[in-house]
Amino acid sequence: MSISKTDTDAANRREYWAPLLELSAQEVFALMLGDKLELAPEPTVLDSLDVTSMVGLAGSLCGLLSVRCSSQCAALMATKMLGADAEGAKGQMEDAVGEVCNMVAGNFKNKISGISESCKLSVPTVITGSNYSLCTLADDYTMEISLLFHGNPVVISLQLN
Amino acid sequence: MDNISVLIVDDSSVMRKIVERSLRQAGIEVGQVYEAGNGLEALAVLNEQKVNLVLCDINMPGMDGLEFVKQLPGVENAKGVPVVMITTEGSEGHVVQALSAGARGYIRKPFTADQVKEHIVPVLAGNL
């Protein structure tokens, strides 16, 4: 799904980016995992999330897009993406979450007119474990959406300079 | 075309499996599947193997997809082999760059099996 020309101006305003980011994520989950991603009723406590995937943005949008979830949720994503059982998807969760983050970032920037051309994405980086904090120098603008995948929290953040 | 051999180039092994599954879901009869994690690995595969189709991501470490496509005219086994890009980079500029470099098609991630069919079948039939 893409936005119409008449919506372009609105879509380019940052206050409209949260629904676009949510839509971008929902499309990725629907098309690549064959499953739904729902809006969480309340913000998620990040402490419980031990897998973080990040894609850097450079150019007209400069910053970081991250997807955070639990390892259980990441393993479920891998299972859905591979169409395999949990055992078959074992060891693929980092790859799966990294690719989800990459597709959400790409899908999001493709929805914003004039951005896609001039914004480059890095390859994804994935961190696992609970004893870390994520800090980026891109702190002029932060947007965070809390979602649920099969009841498991998924937090998507966009931090920009 | 029956039992085509395919080279799938993507730095994500999960995505390589999804692409292969999507080809089968699209009704394309896939025989041998070769995989590579970047352009350099893909060139190494093509130095040894002849394939009917190459499906290639753009953003990859080592050698990216656009550079890989530019290198293909120098690879004997790649002559006449269609390349279709499958990537998150969806801008018109990227499409133009890929097609100018020699790619025959362009699929944006996320994608459906129907989109894979729509883009790949004509390429395999030699209509694009």
pTM above 0.95, yes or no: no
Please give the tally of structural domains in chain B: 1
Please give the tally of structural domains in chain A: 1
Query: Domain with B67 in it: what CATH number?
Result: 3.40.50.2300
The pLDDT value recorded for residue B67 is: 96
Q: In this complex, is the C-beta atom of B15 within 8 Å of any C-beta atom belonging to chain A?
A: yes
**H helix or E strand, kind and range, residue B56:** strand B53-56
CB contact under 8 A, B15 and A107: no
CB contact under 8 A, B110 and A32: yes
Interface of A with B (CB under 8 A): 27-28, 30-32, 78, 81-83, 92, 95-96, 98-99, 102-103, 105-107, 110, 116-117, 121-123
CB contact under 8 A, B14 and A81: yes
Q: Which regions of chain A are under pLDDT 70?
A: 1-12
Do A143 and A34 touch, CB atoms closer than 8 A? no
* Percent of chain B whose predicted confidence (pLDDT) is above 70: 98
Q: In this complex, is the C-beta atom of B47 within 8 Å of any C-beta atom belonging to chain A?
A: no
Could you give the CA distance from residue A68 to residue A122 in angstroms, rounded to a whole number? 17
Query: Domain with A31 in it: what CATH number?
Result: 3.40.1550.10
Count of A-B CB contacts under 8 Å: 64
The pLDDT value recorded for residue B1 is: 64
The pLDDT value recorded for residue A112 is: 87
Do B21 and A88 touch, CB atoms closer than 8 A? no
At a CB cut-off of 8 Å and minimum separation 6, what does A79 contact?
Answer: A85, A86, A88, A89
CB contact under 8 A, A99 and B92: no
C-alpha dihedral (B52, B94, B65, A79), degrees to nearest 10: -80
Which residues form the domain of B104? 4-124
Do A121 and A55 touch, CB atoms closer than 8 A? yes
The pLDDT value recorded for residue A11 is: 55
pLDDT, tens only, B26-46? 999 999 999 999 999 999 999
The complex scores an ipTM of 0.89
Which residues form the domain of A22? 5-160
